[in-house]
């Protein structure tokens, strides 16, 4: 106390009482921090710096007053404000000039913000010599003897109150000090800076060991993991790209080494970028920057070389895969560069390992894998699908389907549809869809035969298989190398592409849409599918089971055949929307050729080895109840054909087994609501001739005469033949869409009037 009192040295004449009061405040037994030894260190440092000030007396007075008032747990700003007010109150009593009092008060308040100097402290816009000297002296405690510094920090933490908040607050303060210059004057930086930095780093190490840090450093770990696994993912995608072509069809001179070279670069970049992300050296940042430059250059070159799609050339899958690999490599390089820069600032504050860093290393590869599966793969496929498709035509209002009365004339003839015919035509709400070679689907107007739209693909040279679905709103086209594409029947634009997991499933029924999957071992599967390929449900009955199915507007009837064990065959009713089982019942043998008519499912009871069934049975699909049974005459001998026509079930067979009798066909219309025969007609037409059935229950086939092609029409009104105009091919089947009959020309589709 005496030593401290001597330092006052009559700063203010006649102020002995003031000096005693100030010293008493610093040595008060109730004070736990900022005691007399702290003030002694500040005043000692001030003696070595005072020559840099412009008002030494004001600076010394501010040093004495800056912690004269201190409350346990108070912040430096609180102490500075209370001490400044004390100076304002007592200094006038000792004749200190108001100008000096104002300077002292200003300087005391400056000590309330003892953070590190700003980055421009070496060359501030306006010098504050007095403030710089005072603040450097106050911060001299940072450069005290290590033992004294440790005592000071312990006193400050004890004085702060609750241990954990005090530790956390002090940890942040020390980090903030270390990130700055510590001292404002060049003299203080030279004399005090090195020792102060050692003390602070030692304290930070101790604080780090005392503070729980379960998450600290997760950002650094995430960046390192991103750099590593993104490079590995880039190598995987590049390897996948090496197995794909750059364009379709593949050019003879197509270069195959770029994806392999990129895969090698990405693979060897993974460990290098791992080290770069954890390095604080300039060399590490240069290597990461070089990887970024390689990726950017590769992207520019790849983008410049992308093929320009046209009807003869399409974009291959290698294009999006190679670009995706380069983007992943770019991400890896950027992550390593940012990680290195971040580590330069925070390396000394990072614990070796904690739960945050471990979770980051687990989460990042999972995220990268999900990006590959859920983003890159779908985007690559969608890019190829979109780049290689074109839709031509601007369809207007669709024409109405006409009723073909078959009077021997032609309603319209389409333009050339080389490679296709009427037998492949599909009826929709907006016209007649025709598949063609070279990946083409055309929609013809039902009233005129004119082209409404044409959908073409550059990456397919095979004829697609098409069906109508969604109540005729869509055309579902299966391309052998692409999968199922859903086309809007009105405009021809693609609405969806079935995902890869469903592209190879066999369509059991198009309206409503069911798909099946045959499994070599185990059980076949049945799925309820939306037009866009979304699976609503899957039905898997069990081992050694094959499935056939048919659907009504709200129910699916599945026919299960068990190929192992002694289990009997079954029929199962499923809800069309949810796939929930409604009922099941045993069957003596698997029913054949199910047909939906008038809301019922009509099946053919097997008749042993014969193609002729024993009977036709109508089943209510919601309950499995048998509504009626129609015995098939034993005299019939051909393969019985079942067709739905409105409320009628139209049955086509031949009456008798003899060769002469087999030149005749018997057509029977059964009222599906009652199971009674509505009418039956026998016609002198070979039963081997392929037939089509119109919506009004007319059975039509073609036969060749000596001088022309004839249409055979069997209906309620009997049998009649109609001579058709020249140009119609009798060797190709006719097709009924509603009540409109289509035939084929040499390379055209012909609508019969």
DSSP string across 480-532: TTTEEEEEETTT--EEEE--TTTTT-EEEETTTTEEEE--SSSB-EEEEE-TT
CA torsion 107→112→117→118, rounded to 10°? Answer: -110
Peptide bond into 249 cis (omega under 30): yes
In angstroms, the Cα distances linking 1 to 4, 37, 101, 126 are: 5, 9, 26, 38
Contact of 587 with 571, CB cutoff 8 Å? yes
Rg of the chain over all Cα atoms, to the nearest angstrom: 45
Give the pLDDT confidence score for residue 248 in this predicted structure. Answer: 84
**Coil/strand/helix, residue 602:** strand
Give the pLDDT confidence score for residue 213 in this predicted structure. Answer: 67
Residue the block writes with tokens 């039963």: 687
Joined tokens for residue 319: 């294009």
Give the pLDDT confidence score for residue 501 in this predicted structure. Answer: 63
Question: Terminus-to-terminus CA distance in the chain, angstroms?
Answer: 123
Q: For residues 382 and 202, give the distance between their C-alpha atoms in angstroms, rounded to a whole number.
A: 57
Phi-psi region of 406 (alpha: psi -120 to 50; beta: other; left: phi over 0): left
* Angle at the Cα of 200 from the Cα atoms of 194 and 201, rounded to 5 degrees: 90
Q: For residues 299 and 262, give the distance between their C-alpha atoms in angstroms, rounded to a whole number.
A: 11
Give the pLDDT confidence score for residue 236 in this predicted structure. Answer: 95
Q: For residues 379 and 27, give the distance between their C-alpha atoms in angstroms, rounded to a whole number.
A: 73
Joined tokens for residue 226: 């991103």
**Coil/strand/helix, residue 731:** coil
Contact of 638 with 687, CB cutoff 8 Å? yes
Give the pLDDT confidence score for residue 565 in this predicted structure. Answer: 64
In angstroms, the Cα distances linking 242 to 110, 256, 308 are: 67, 7, 20
Contact of 647 with 669, CB cutoff 8 Å? no
Closest CA to 529 of 484, 585, 595, 480: 484
Which helix or strand (DSSP H or E) is residue 234 part of?
helix 218-242
Residue the block writes with tokens 């709103």: 473
pLDDT tens sequence across 646-670: 999 999 998 876 455 578 899 999 9
Closest CA to 23 of 3, 5, 44, 43: 5
Q: How far is CA 173 from the centre of its chain?
A: 43
Give the pLDDT confidence score for residue 123 in this predicted structure. Answer: 46
Mean pLDDT per 10-residue segment, the chain (753 residues)? 73 86 88 88 92 92 92 86 93 92 93 63 63 92 91 84 75 80 89 91 79 75 93 95 87 82 94 91 91 95 89 88 95 93 67 78 93 90 90 90 92 88 93 91 94 92 91 92 91 87 77 83 82 90 84 92 75 94 79 86 82 88 93 86 94 74 86 95 87 95 87 94 90 93 92 94
How big is the chain, counted in residues? 753
Instruction: Write phi, then psi, for 312 (nearest 5 degrees).
Output: -100, -20
């Amino acid at each position: 106390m005496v030593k401290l009192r001597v330092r006052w040295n009559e700063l203010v004449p006649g102020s002995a009482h003031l000096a005693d009061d100030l010293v008493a405040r610093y040595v008060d037994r109730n004070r736990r921090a900022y005691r007399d030894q702290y003030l002694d260190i500040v005043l000692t440092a001030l003696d070595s710096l005072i020559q840099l000030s412009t008002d030494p007396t004001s600076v010394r007075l501010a040093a004495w007053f800056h912690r004269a008032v201190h409350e346990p747990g108070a912040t430096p700003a609180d102490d500075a404000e209370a001490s400044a007010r004390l100076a304002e109150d007592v200094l006038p009593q000792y004749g200190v000039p108001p100008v000096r009092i104002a300077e002292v008060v200003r300087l005391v308040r400056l000590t309330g913000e003892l953070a590190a100097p700003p980055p421009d402290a070496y060359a501030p816009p306006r010098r504050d010599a007095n403030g710089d000297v005072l603040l450097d002296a106050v911060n001299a405690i940072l450069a005290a003897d290590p033992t004294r510094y440790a005592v000071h920090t312990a006193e400050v933490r004890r004085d702060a109150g609750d241990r954990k908040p005090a530790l956390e607050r002090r940890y942040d303060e020390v980090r903030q000090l270390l990130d700055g210059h510590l001292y404002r004057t060049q003299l203080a930086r030279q004399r005090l800076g090195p020792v102060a930095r050692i003390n602070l780093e030692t304290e930070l190490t101790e604080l780090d060991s005392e503070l729980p840090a379960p998450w600290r450093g997760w950002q650094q770990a995430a960046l390192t993991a991103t750099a590593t696994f993104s490079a590995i993912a880039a190598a995987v995608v590049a390897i996948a790209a090496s197995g794909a072509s750059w364009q379709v069809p593949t050019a003879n001179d197509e270069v195959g080494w770029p994806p392999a070279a990129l895969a090698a670069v990405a693979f060897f970049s993974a460990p290098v970028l791992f080290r770069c992300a954890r390095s604080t050296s300039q060399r590490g940042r240069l290597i990461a920057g070089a990887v970024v430059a390689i990726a950017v250059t590769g992207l520019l070159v790849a983008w410049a070389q992308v093929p320009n799609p046209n009807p003869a050339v399409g974009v291959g899958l290698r294009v999006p895969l190679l670009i995706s690999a380069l983007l992943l490599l770019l991400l890896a390089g950027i992550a390593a560069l940012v990680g290195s820069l971040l580590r330069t600032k925070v390396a000394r504050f990072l614990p070796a390992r904690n739960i945050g860093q471990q979770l980051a290393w687990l989460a990042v590869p999972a995220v990268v894998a999900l990006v590959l599966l859920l983003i890159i793969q779908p985007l690559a496929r969608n890019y190829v699908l979109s780049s290689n498709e074109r839709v031509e035509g601007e369809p207007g209002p669709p024409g109405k389907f006409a009723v073909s009365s078959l009077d021997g004339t032609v309603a319209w003839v389409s333009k050339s549809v080389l490679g296709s015919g009427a037998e492949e035509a599909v009826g929709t709400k907006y016209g007649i869809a025709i598949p063609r070679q070279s990946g083409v689907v055309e929609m013809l107007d039902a009233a005129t035969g004119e082209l409404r739209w044409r959908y073409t693909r550059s990456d397919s040279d095979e004829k697609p298989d098409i069906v109508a679905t969604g109540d005729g709103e869509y055309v579902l086209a299966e391309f052998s190398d692409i999968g199922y594409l859903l086309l809007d029947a009105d405009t021809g634009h693609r609405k969806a592409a079935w995902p890869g997991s469903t592209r190879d499933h066999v369509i059991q029924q198009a309206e409503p849409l069911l798909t099946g999957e045959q499994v070599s071992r185990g059980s076949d599967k049945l799925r309820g599918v939306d037009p866009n390929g979304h699976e609503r449900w899957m039905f898997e009955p069990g081992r050694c089971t094959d499935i056939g199915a048919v659907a009504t507007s709200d129910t699916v009837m599945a026919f299960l055949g068990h190929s192992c064990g002694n289990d009997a065959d079954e029929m199962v009713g499923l809800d069309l929307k949810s796939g929930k089982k409604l009922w099941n019942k045993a069957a003596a043998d698997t029913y054949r050729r199910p047909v939906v008519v008038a809301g019922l499912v009509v099946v053919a009871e097997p008749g042993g080895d014969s193609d002729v069934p024993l009977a036709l049975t109508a089943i209510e699909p919601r309950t499995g109840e048998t509504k009626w049974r129609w015995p098939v005459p034993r005299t019939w001998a051909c393969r019985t054909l079942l067709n739905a026509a409105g409320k009628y079930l139209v049955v086509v067979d031949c009456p008798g087994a003899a060769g002469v009798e087999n030149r005749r066909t018997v057509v029977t219309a059964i009222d599906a609501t009652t199971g009674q025969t509505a009418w039956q007609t026998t016609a002198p037409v070979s039963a081997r001739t392929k037939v089509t059935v119109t919506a009004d229950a007319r059975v039509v086939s073609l036969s060749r005469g000596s001088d022309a092609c004839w249409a055979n029409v069997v209906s309620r009104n009997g049998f009649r033949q109609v001579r058709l105009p020249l140009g119609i091919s009798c060797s190709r089947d006719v097709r009924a869409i509603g009540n409109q009959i289509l035939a084929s020309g040499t390379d055209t589709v012909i609508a019969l009037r």
